[in-house]
């Protein structure tokens, strides 16, 4: 069995969102703890880790009166499984503000985490295996077809590629890709999105997404 791929001192970005492999993530960054981190990642061509918050908020807030806190700020907690984010676009429209677009890469699991003095989290992580390509089975073809129709409707409206919510190439014959894109598009609780992202079986993920589509009344 090959040795697991690891990353040490990976900077983390806890968000009220779940990043899926192959997904798009636009961010506007203004907190001091992230400005330097993103600048360094961009310069080095290095990824950072996106993890979904389970406690706290995206913007660091002072602790409530009477609530013990080691550094005077509200507690932050986040999932132990996240996704590497690769910066694809980077700009500084004004001092103290960065605007970036990222692509989701490989999933990872945290083995050790540490909060630095200025509030930035870093972690040692093990990179998880990518989804294996699985062809869409006949009983789930309607779920893939519905996503294809949505993409075509956006293309017919001449939506620029830079504004499309999904990245080409469109792998409409792959269970993992179709499931991940629906997970990004559908309104569902953060906890459910996180559980779906963590599933190692892309076929099972697509089956669950198909059930959600049916329950929400979206026509397939």
Last residue of a domain, one of 127, 157, 180: 127
Residue 86 lies in a domain: yes
pLDDT at residue 56 tops 90 = no
- The residue segments making up the domain with residue 23 are 6-127
pLDDT for 191 equals 96
40-44, 175-179, 185-189, 216-220, range with the lowest pLDDT: 216-220
For the four alpha carbons of 59, 65, 70 and 75, in that order, the dihedral sign comes to: negative
Helical segments of 79-140, H only:
none
In this structure, are 183 and 92 located in the same domain?
A: no
Say which CATH number the domain at 205 has.
Answer: 1.10.4060.10
In this structure, are 10 and 116 located in the same domain?
A: yes
In this structure, are 29 and 114 located in the same domain?
A: yes
In this structure, are 93 and 143 located in the same domain?
A: no
pLDDT at residue 3 tops 70 = no
In this structure, are 76 and 179 located in the same domain?
A: no
In this structure, are 56 and 160 located in the same domain?
A: no
Residue 1 lies in a domain: no
Cα(29)–Cα(25) distance, rounded to whole angstroms? Answer: 12
Which residue would you say has higher pLDDT here, 56 or 4? 56
Residue 161 lies in a domain: yes
pLDDT at residue 83 tops 90 = yes
Residue 178 lies in a domain: yes
In this structure, are 111 and 173 located in the same domain?
A: no
Cα(83)–Cα(12) distance, rounded to whole angstroms? Answer: 10
The pLDDT tens digits of the residues spanning 116-138 come to 988 899 999 999 999 999 999 99
Q: Any residues with CB less than 8 A from the CB of 29 and at least 6 apart, and which?
A: 35, 38, 97, 98, 99, 100
In this structure, are 169 and 73 located in the same domain?
A: no
In this structure, are 102 and 54 located in the same domain?
A: yes
In this structure, are 52 and 147 located in the same domain?
A: no
Say which CATH number the domain at 35 has.
Answer: 2.30.130.40
* Count of structural domains within the chain: 2
Residue reference for tokens 């791929």? 5
pLDDT bucket at 113, cuts 50 / 70 / 90 = very high
In this structure, are 37 and 123 located in the same domain?
A: yes
The pLDDT tens digits of the residues spanning 87-112 come to 999 999 999 999 999 999 999 999 99
Residue 12 lies in a domain: yes
The pLDDT tens digits of the residues spanning 155-213 come to 888 777 777 888 889 999 999 999 999 999 999 999 999 999 999 999 999 999 999 99
26-35, 45-54, 154-163, 192-201, range with the lowest pLDDT: 154-163
pLDDT for 1 equals 38
Residue 101 lies in a domain: yes
Cβ atoms 144, 25 nearer than 8 A: no
pLDDT for 2 equals 46
As given in the structure block, the two tokens for residue 157 are 């409206």
Mean pLDDT estimate for the chain: 90
Helix-, strand-, coil-residue percentages of the chain, each rounded to 5: 30, 30, 35
pLDDT for 5 equals 78
């Amino acid at each position: 069995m090959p040795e697991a791929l690891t990353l040490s001192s990976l900077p983390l970005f806890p968000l009220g969102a779940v990043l899926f492999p192959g997904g798009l993530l636009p961010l506007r960054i203004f907190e001091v703890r992230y400005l330097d981190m993103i600048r360094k990642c961009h310069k080095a061509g290095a990824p950072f880790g996106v993890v979904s918050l389970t406690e706290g908020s995206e913007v660091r807030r002072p602790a409530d009166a009477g609530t013990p806190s080691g550094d005077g700020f509200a507690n932050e907690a986040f999932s132990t499984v996240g996704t590497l984010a690769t910066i694809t676009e980077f700009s500084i429209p004004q001092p103290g503000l960065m605007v970036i677009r990222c692509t989701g890469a490989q999933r990872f699991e945290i083995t050790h985490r540490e909060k630095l003095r200025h509030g930035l989290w870093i972690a040692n992580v093990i990179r998880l295996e990518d989804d294996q390509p699985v062809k869409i089975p006949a009983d789930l073809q309607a779920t893939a077809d519905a996503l294809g129709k949505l993409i075509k409707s956006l293309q017919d409206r001449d939506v620029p590629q830079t504004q499309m919510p999904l990245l080409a190439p469109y792998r409409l014959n792959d269970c993992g890709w179709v499931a991940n894109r629906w997970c990004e598009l559908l309104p569902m609780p953060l906890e459910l999105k996180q559980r779906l992202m963590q599933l190692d079986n892309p076929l099972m993920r697509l089956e669950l997404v198909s059930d959600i589509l049916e329950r929400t009344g979206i026509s397939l």
